[in-house]
Amino acid sequence: MVAHKNSEQVATGVGLAAGIVSAVAAGFFLYGPKGKDNRVKIKSWTLKAKAEMLEQLEKAKEVTEESYAAMADKVTAKYGKLKAVGDEEAGKLNVELKRHWKAIKTATRPQKKEAKKK
């Protein structure tokens, strides 16, 4: 009698194989013959995206958590459309940018001035 694999086992195997293939491809992309150039490209687009975020923060009259998240979404969506970047990498940057909200909130809060002593 021939044993048939059920669809769950096949799906698990296909998913595992796809994960391994993508990990190998990512490793080759970052550490292969052109790996150094690829790492530079990745770093350069993230710096450009962060610079755009800073420009938008400077232009904004008031920055709330919602407006900051919208800025991050807008900037990362733009870069996600690029073939060299992709949605996955842009999504990672989006998460990173949003994690910085508390520090930005503290930095943008008006500072209290101390009274001068005579």
pLDDT digits (tens, 9 = 90+) for 52-94: 988 988 888 888 899 999 999 999 999 888 877 888 888 888 9
Query: Which residue type sits at 88?
Result: E
Helix or strand run (H / E) with residue 6: none
Pseudo-torsion of CA 58, 49, 79, 44, nearest 10°?
160
- In whole angstroms, what separates CA 111 from the centre of its chain? 31
Q: How far apart are CA 56 and CA 72, in angstroms?
A: 10
pTM score: 0.56
